[in-house]
Structure 1
């Protein structure tokens, strides 16, 4: 597994984010709300209203990466 460099910071955006947002919208939120550089090589994490969806924005090797993860609860996985 290839991980981010050792000096990479992980920033978690407090509050709720519209999960329809893509690369550009999330990069603007990083600049305007968090007042950070989205192209600085750090990881920025956003959560949806229900808390079951996370998106991570990461600049790597000359391009933005957008990761999404749906968090299924333990109880919902057996229904």
Structure 2
């Protein structure tokens, strides 16, 4: 797997997205629906109603890129509380999401205060 660059910002678009949209339609959704710049180098993740398909959109400095991933079994975990807007993910959470794993459980580990 290609490792994401350091400092990569990842945004997950809450709610359901029409997966018939291509890179231009998703870029317009980022610009108009999320009020973000689709050409700022951040990764934007979208999921459809069936939940087995996600699309990632980002601009790599040269052009607009679109990654599509479909799970053979299961569904991609997605936030259910927020219906609009976007939430930030870490690159570790993005990796877990792309593996089809629960990304919300990943968080900073607490360091023990006492050794005994």
TM > 0.5 between the two?
A: yes
More strand by share: 1
Normalising TM by the smaller chain, what interval? 0.7 to 0.9
Task: Determine the structure 2 residue equivalent to 1:35.
Answer: 35
In the alignment, the residues of structure 1 paired with residue 3 and residue 63 of structure 2 have an alpha-carbon distance, to the nearest angstrom, of 16
Name the SS for the 1:58 alignment partner: strand
Q: State the TM-score, normalizing by the size of structure 2.
A: 0.59
Give the greater-gyration-radius structure (CA): 2
Name the SS for the 2:26 alignment partner: helix
* Deviant stretches of 4+, over 2 Å: 1-5
Q: How many positions carry a matched residue from both structures? A: 74
RMSD over aligned Cα atoms: 1.3
For structure 1, list consecutive stretches of 5 or more residues without a partner in the other structure: 75-79
Name the SS for the 1:24 alignment partner: helix
For structure 2, list consecutive stretches of 5 or more residues without a partner in the other structure: 75-116
